[in-house]
Structure 1
């Protein structure tokens, strides 16, 4: 007997890949921000649209003690219920805020800036979050990342930044080399950190307005971006380990820049 069952099978539906989202746009839908400092900073940021707070009673009291005015609906929840809203290792401290992503800042928001930190394809959200925090601590005016090959705004980035995401302009650009060229036309000196730089950062001349450019670990600043900067500088380490994690390099670079610029 011949098996003709295959003739009655429905043809497989063609698989259509979802249309790619244009790079640089904020994440679709709301984001979940968690942790005391992150949520507190989000409430203090006028540019942040907040939707709803999920929190334990104790956490709500902590916000009140810190002078935070809660201006959104609140759902009181137990810690384990909050655990299920975030990833396994997330430390929410009893607070999860549902909010819209921040506005998509561009180079036009940098008028009046003096010290800008640009990250050329640094992809790790933990590193970028730590860099945002350091940039706030050292009073940089903005942190610039590429639209592609950089972390989007999200809970990991926000938690790593410990509130800094809502304290500093995070500018995203399509083309880092073109951005550097435009900043030079606005009177900025642009310095790329490179291990083969001809002089140390301390020996490099700084102007009144500076863009510091750091690249990803391993690849460093891409050649086209280095050429656009024109000035290369290195960080000399006196110890046996000669290189730093990019977030640590950012701290040291910003500190040196502020000393050289008299900020």
Structure 2
């Protein structure tokens, strides 16, 4: 039986989820990150679709689907049916609005839900994707088990996520680190561990560190541009954004990426065809 989602639950982990969802729904984050909230953008999303062998007629679950960019692109590129699940209600509303302006609205739908208690029945999807979000989930093992639960036998999981080598430097911790998905980035072996413990079988791991370096550079440029626009009073950003703190963080992040402390990887795994 599918666990019932309760958005009124008040726990420490729920507070973290609400905080992250609120941040990623904000105009401020969209200004800095653009339409694709993950390294590699839609190009890497399409690559993930190729690796998972997506095609017309398959059902895909996009976990932490944000404002729907990836789900819509997968439907356009591969003709598959995609359901997007996101914790933020506003993000879901924006995703539905975006889908309504495309030619694939009949293939794409979105709903609010928790990655650790996916509001969908058992064994109903051919593939599950999760881009640059798994590292932010408070209970990663439960989320991985949920991926397996909703997959049909033989179905596949595709993760793309931030990876780290060693400990997160002290100057890359805190709220900005959580926004940038750095705070709880895992070593590649960590992601593999969660997937294996969920009962999945590993397929392949690909390193895509170059897309992370490109994204850090892009964000730094947009941050400088946003600061100029605010000073010229062309735009207003709520909450009193501390540009000096944000720029210092991005300099540290760029240095960490250059030193290969952080990378980006695509990881795929399969659910056994045996119904165990």
Establish whether TM, by shorter chain, passes 0.5: no
Q: With structure 2 as the length reference, what TM-score do the two structures score? A: 0.29
Question: More helix by proportion, 1 or 2?
Answer: 2
Q: With structure 1 as the length reference, what TM-score do the two structures score? A: 0.31
